[in-house]
Amino acid sequence: MNKKTYIIGDSMISSLGFGSKENMKSLYDGNSGVQRIDDKYLYPEPFMGARLDDKQLNRCFSSLLMMSKLPEDFEFTRFEKMAIMSMAGVYRDQTFPTDKNTLFILSTTKGNIDLLQEDLMEKWGKERSMLYKAADVIAQFWGFENKARVLSNACISGVEALHIASKFIKQGVYENVIIVGADMLTEFVVSGFMSFQSLSSNVCKPFDESRDGLNLGEAAGCIFLSSNEQYLKRNKTILEISGGGSSNDANHISGPSRTGDGQFFAIQSAMKEAELTSKDIDHISAHGTATPFNDEMESKALNLAGLQEKPVNSLKAYFGHTLGAAGIIESIVAIHNLVDQKILKSLGFEKNGVPMPLIIQQKTEEYSMNNILKTASGFGGCNAAVIISKTEKA
Amino acid sequence: MDKLIEELKVEIIEALNLEDMEPEDIDINEPLFGDGLGLDSIDALELIVLLEKNYGIKVEDPKKGKEIFASVKTMAEYITAHQK
Amino acid sequence: MQEIKHVYIAKSCLFVNGQLVLKGENSIFVKYLKEVYKHTDIKYSKYFKMDPLSKLGFLAAEVLLKDMKCSESPERNGIILENKVSTYLVDVKHQVTINDKENYFPSPANFVYTLPNVMTGEICIRHGFKGENAVFVNEAFDAEFVCQYIKSMYEADKVDMLIGGFVDADEDEYEAFMFFTEKDNVSELDAKMIEDLYLKSKSQAEE
Amino acid sequence: MAIYINGIGLISPQETKSNASFLEEVNVLEGDYFKIAEPPYKEYIAPRELRRMSRVIRNGIVSAKIALNDSGLENPDAILTGTGLGCATDTEKFLMAMSENKESLLTPTSFIQSTHNTLGGSIAIGLGCHNYNMTYVNRGFSFESALLDAILMINGQEIENALVGGFDEMTENHNKLLLTQKHYAKENGAVAGQGSGFFALEKQINENTYAELKELETYFKPEDSAIEEKVLQILKTHDVNTSECVVLMGFNGVPVEQNKYNELRDSVFLNSCIAQYKNLSGEYYTSSAFAFWAASQILKKQSLPECMLVSGNVPSTIKHVFIYNQFLKNEHSLILLAK
């Protein structure tokens, strides 16, 4: 492994805004995109969630069509629009290649799942509801030469995509990887989580004593990774994915490990690859869904990894849990935190409510950092971790 | 009188925006209008206001301005004669 | 060169290393799966709670890993699977429960299977794999990409053993292909060879 | 009919008086608003004439002279100026005197100099130009209106050429008032600026030509999608390849005003190199004159200064520059220049 996985560009759209800059500003201001949603198309009862501004999405997208490599009258689903919009944000800062050296990965859990609704199924048909088809459409919009790949590993998809992509780049399998993480707030997902009784009726409170569940959200984020230094000319601070790993609890499909060893293995694997120890990690952007078991598991995993003295936050109270997009948008935030040398308070946290000691960041402030650990965990017992580091050109 | 003249020079420079001039650049006998300092009718009006504002002297007839503002010296003499 | 162990299940046939092991009496997908379950001779009550996709993946792994030696460090064992329709069968089932607003009854036991990686989760639980795990959704089995992934994980020294494959369950078709790799034989791993093993099994099943 | 920009002149907070250089160094903001980088006035204006001129008139005359010298045009067929505030310093001076002296003892100089058309008149006097002379005071459209008049007259064959300019000045007092408005508030507000830009427009192309003026559109309080539609139409009409286009947008740092810019940047102009200029000029009624100058330079020099780049890759051949500016979300203007 002699190449570096540089982070060239990023962009995201979320309930907090369009574009990374707008999102970062909102985060530094301490805003939350989670609000009461009363929409019978999403759930019969009002619930707390984080939604995108549809009007802005459609407006921007309609003129984006000019860029499309698909026929003029080709129609796009809402999910595809979200994904393409987030890629557009990266593209406008640094045109990304679409040639054979470039891999496009879509990280999502449910993609076009709204098409299963009877009325939509009639219009779009079964195939369009398939994840590979959505990825295909998005890839064709930009004209990628390689086949699009969909990574669907529940809530770790985004973080794991970064991990896998960085292996490909380091080993020279591909020079560039464009990763898009996207998921929508749909009746399908809301009803499912409701049936699990895991949604909070307030803005969620990760790691807090009174946490009582998560909020769902929707977002799309895109990260452009490359080993090609030529793309770095606009980056003032040079960052890389220095390590990554994924693991499985091998314990229960919907309940996290009681010991935290699964998550610990992923962290350990990432630190080993990055040749860093717990001392070198400056901050952890945790998964922190605010469900009682998840946060408890994470406190154990971080203690196993010797990271109990490093400031931890969760961004779920800002964006809600955006499933396949979460790992990407939260990594984008980490990227900007490293550039800005600022750490975000863990919104919603007041009093420690996890069994193992953790330092939960309570204030948004300047903070000197070189390495941020980003973790994620999900259904199926899966875990992933990546380390985002300040670096220099090789 | 000399003091008045020096004072007047500074006031003229300020009121008429003669920013590059120093009081000593103004010859007290040199005509203010025409060839000398090159002032014009607008400047005359400015000077009328100056007299009223700074010395309480009202010049009712603008035509008289020509005599009063012939030079810094004539101005000073007019002021001395009319000041209450 | 020792052949890479592989398993193929489709059209009521079970092949191990290209040899037909169990020809189903029943052509109905779930019923045939039960025959395979009996064939594996295990008692695993959780199996019956699984969705068809997980059952299929679980059984393929069961057959594949029989008599195989995995790494003793659980975090060095991994799995990567591809899949075409993701969890379409379960998705539709969940959708039906919410279509009628008057009769709204989403089921958590069903919903949890609406993620394709729950299948790999089930396999990890069964065999105690705690290492790398990934599910990619692709229109068809793509030996080249799966091998790229596998080689990459070995090169990065993330695993000692890695299962690869393609498991898919749609309305009227199902297919599972799974193969076993380990650190010591990774240099022999070749996308073309894997592709050939897959195609050979596939054509045999179609006969 | 084609209209060419054959001479340009700009006095601004930046070192722009020489057209030979192009924003190679940047004067950073000092204080609450952008101050003019003053040229050596005496090199352009006789001291005697200089005496009564406020800064805005001086800057206006200097920029007009630079533009005329640049183009070789001596006596333009029309002098068209646009300004939002006109001669603010003199207006203030007069009003202050009125207030201090209780409406008596008023002096005439600042009064005569305080009208918006003072500059247009002064340029004409200096040139001895007896041709059409018009000043537009149209808030955020002031420069655009002057430009539009020139386009109409040239296209209508009434004139062959025109000197068109936009100018505004900012004063300490005026800025204090602005700071109390949301648009200019210290937190998240725009920084006020000033400047004067003049342009020699001619029907004939010559070896000094900077660019061709292709299109000018103005919109007052447009519907949500009107701008996108218009932009698309303009791009189509003039066969603009967005990847060979630099888009100069009036980003001013006010979050609520940013949306429209962002939307266009993320959609129609995704392929384009996006640039800004208010970080150099500040926000003012006729800031599009600064953009017009920069656009002319970009096309002639075929380069974009680093300080203007927002996003995208600078095209190797810059065929078009598209200027999109809005003022307080009300006045939106679109200008297209071609190489």
pLDDT for position A18? 92
Q: pLDDT tens-digit profile of A11-55?
A: 999 999 999 999 999 999 999 999 999 999 999 999 999 999 998
Q: What is the pLDDT of residues D23-76, one digit of tens each?
A: 999 998 888 999 999 999 999 998 878 888 889 999 999 999 999 999 999 999
Asked if the model's pLDDT at residue D168 lies above 80, the reply is yes
Any idea which residue has 């092949």 for tokens?
Answer: C15
**Which of A:106-125 have CB within 8 Å of C?**
109-110, 113, 116-118
- Is B62 exposed, middle or buried (CB count within 10 Å of its CB: 0-12, 13-18, 19+)? exposed
Residue A283 domain flag: yes
Is a pLDDT exceeding 80 seen at residue D105? Answer: no
A388 within 8 A of A331, measured Cβ to Cβ: yes
Residues comprising chain C, all counted: 207
Chains touching B (3+ CB pairs < 8 Å): D
Q: Report the CATH number that the domain containing residue A308 is assigned in CATH.
A: 3.40.47.10
Is it the case that residue C80 has pLDDT exceeding 60?
yes
Q: Is residue A359 part of a domain?
A: yes
Mind listing the pLDDT tens digit for each residue in B9-56? 888 888 887 777 788 888 888 888 877 677 777 788 888 888 888 888
Give chain A positions within 8 Å (CB) of D265.
Answer: 92
Q: Is the CB of A173 inside 8 Å of chain C's CB atoms?
A: yes
Question: What's the number of domains chain B is made of?
Answer: 1
Size of interface A-C (CB pairs under 8 A): 169
Considering the domain architecture, whether residues A65 and A151 belong to the same structural domain is answered as yes
Domain end point (choices A177, A201, A234) = A234
pLDDT value of residue B68? 86
Helix orientation angle between D118-127 and D55-71, rounded to the nearest 10 degrees: 50
Whole-number Å distance between alpha carbons of A50 and A15: 6
Give the pLDDT band (50/70/90) at residue C195: very high
Interface of chain B against chain D, CB under 8 Å? 15-20, 38, 42-43, 45-46, 49-50, 52-53
Give the count of domains, chain A: 2
CB of C122 less than 8 A from some CB of A: yes
Which of A234, A259, A276 marks a domain boundary? A234
Task: Tell me which chain D residues have a C-beta less than 8 angstroms from the C-beta of B46.
Answer: 107-109
* Residues A170, A225 contacting (CB under 8 angstroms): no
Q: Residue B37: its chain D contacts at CB < 8 A?
A: none
A31 touches chain D (CB under 8 A): no
pLDDT of residue C2: 64
Residue at a domain's end among A204, A234, A264: A234
D191 Cα distance to chain centroid: 16
* Subunit contact B46:D108, Cβ cutoff 8 A: yes
Residue A111 to residues A123, A188, C90, D230, Cα–Cα distance (Å)? 17, 11, 15, 33
Question: CA of B13, closest CA in chain D: separation in Å?
Answer: 10
CATH code, domain carrying B69: 1.10.1200.10
Q: Is the dihedral of CA D299, D303, D306, D311 positive or negative?
A: positive
Nearest by CB to A93, from D258, D269, D312: name it.
D312
C155 and A187 within 8 Å at the Cβ level: the answer is: no
Q: What is the pLDDT of residue C187?
A: 85
The set of residues, in sequence order, having a beta carbon less than 8 Å from that of D17 and lying 6+ positions away, is: D9, D10, D11, D37, D39, D62, D66
Residue A16 lies in a domain: yes
- Do A166 and A266 lie in one domain? The reply is no
Number of Cα atoms under 13 Å in the Cβ half of residue A128: 18
Provide CATH 3.40.47.10 ranges for chain D.
3-202, 211-338
Are D225 and A59 a contacting pair at CB < 8 A?
Answer: yes
Asked whether C and B share 3 or more beta-carbon pairs under 8 angstroms, the answer is no
pLDDT in tens, D76-88: 999 999 999 999 9
Residue D102 forms contact with B (CB below 8 Å):
no
Place C162 in a pLDDT band, splitting at 50, 70 and 90: very high
Shared domain check, A351 and A311: yes
Nearest CB neighbour to B53, from listed D52, D105, D109: D105
pLDDT score, position D333: 96
Indicate the class that CATH gives domain D211-338. Answer: alpha beta
C6-206 folds as Peroxisomal Thiolase; Chain A, domain 1 (3.40.47)
pLDDT for residue A1: 56
Q: Are residues A188 and A264 in the same domain?
A: no
D322 and D248 Cβ atoms separated by less than 8 Å? yes
Q: Answer whether A touches B (≥3 Cβ pairs < 8 Å).
A: no
Cα D277 to Cα D252: distance, rounded to the nearest angstrom? 9
Looking at residue C103, its pLDDT comes to 83
On the question of pLDDT at D98 being above 90, the answer is no
Q: How far is D53 from chain B (nearest CA, A)?
A: 9
| Shortest Cα–Cα distance, A202 to chain D (Å) | 28
The predicted-structure confidence for D191-229, as pLDDT tens digits, reads as follows: 999 999 999 999 999 999 999 999 999 999 998 788 988
Alpha helices (H) in chain A, listed in sequence order: 20-28, 54-64, 78-93, 118-124, 131-142, 157-170, 187-195, 261-274, 292-304, 316-319, 326-340
**How far apart (Å, rounded) are the C-alpha atoms in residues C194 and C177?**
10
Give residue B43's pLDDT: 82
What pLDDT, on a 0 to 100 scale, did the predictor assign at position A63?
79
Q: How would you class D110 by CB atoms within 10 Å of its CB: exposed for 0-12, middle for 13-18, buried for 19 or more?
A: buried
Contact D108 B52 (CB under 8 A): no
Chain A positions touching D262 (Cβ under 8 A) are 18-19, 22
Nearest CA in chain A to C123: A250
Neighboring chain B residues of D112 at a CB cutoff of 8 Å: 42
Looking at the fold, whether A217 and A319 belong to one and the same domain comes out as no
Who's near D116: CB < 8 A, 6+ residues apart?
Answer: D83, D86, D87, D135, D137
User: Considering only residues 141 to 170 of chain C, which have any Cβ-Cβ distance to chain A shorter than 8 Å?
Assistant: 142, 145, 148-149, 152-153, 155-156, 158
Question: Which chains are within 8 Å of A by 3+ CB pairs?
Answer: C, D
Who among D224, D231, D266 is closest to A89 (CB)?
A: D266
Tell whether A126 and A193 lie within a shared domain.
Answer: yes
Q: H helices within chain C, ranges in order?
A: 29-40, 52-65, 88-99, 108-111, 117-127, 143-155, 191-206
Give me the residues of chain A with pLDDT under 50, please. none
Pairwise CA distance, residues C184 & C2, whole Å = 11
User: How far apart, in Å, are the Cα atoms of C152 and each of A172, A231, C72?
Assistant: 10, 24, 21
Q: Does some domain include residue A1?
A: no
Beta carbons of D313 and A64 less than 8 Å apart:
no
List of chain C residues whose C-beta atoms are within 8 Å of the C-beta of residue A115: none
How far apart are alpha carbons C204 and C199 in whole angstroms?
8
Q: Does D125 touch chain B (CB under 8 A)?
A: no
The domain of B10 spans: 2-82
Task: For tokens 């079970």, name the residue.
Answer: C14
Does residue B84 carry a pLDDT above 70? no
Smallest Cβ–Cβ distance between C152 and the set A171, A245, A381 belongs to: A171
**The CATH number fitting domain D3-202, selected from 3.40.47.10, 3.40.50.620, 3.40.50.720, 3.40.50.460:** 3.40.47.10
Does A230 contact D at CB distance below 8 Å?
Answer: no
The answer to whether residue C13 scores a pLDDT higher than 90 is yes
Per-residue pLDDT, B64 = 79
Given a cut of 60, whether residue C1 has pLDDT beyond it is no
Of A25, A59, A91, nearest to D263 by CB-CB distance is A59
Nearest-Cα residue of chain A relative to residue D254:
A22
Domain hosting residue A269, numbered range: 241-390
Which of these, C129, C135, C130, C121, lies nearest to C46 by C-alpha position? C121
Task: Decide: C50 and C122 in contact? Cβ < 8 Å.
Answer: yes
Give the C-alpha separation, A105 to A166, whole Å: 12
A 10 A CB-CB count for A56 gives 18
Closest CA of chain D from A86, distance in Å: 9
In this prediction the ipTM stands at: 0.80
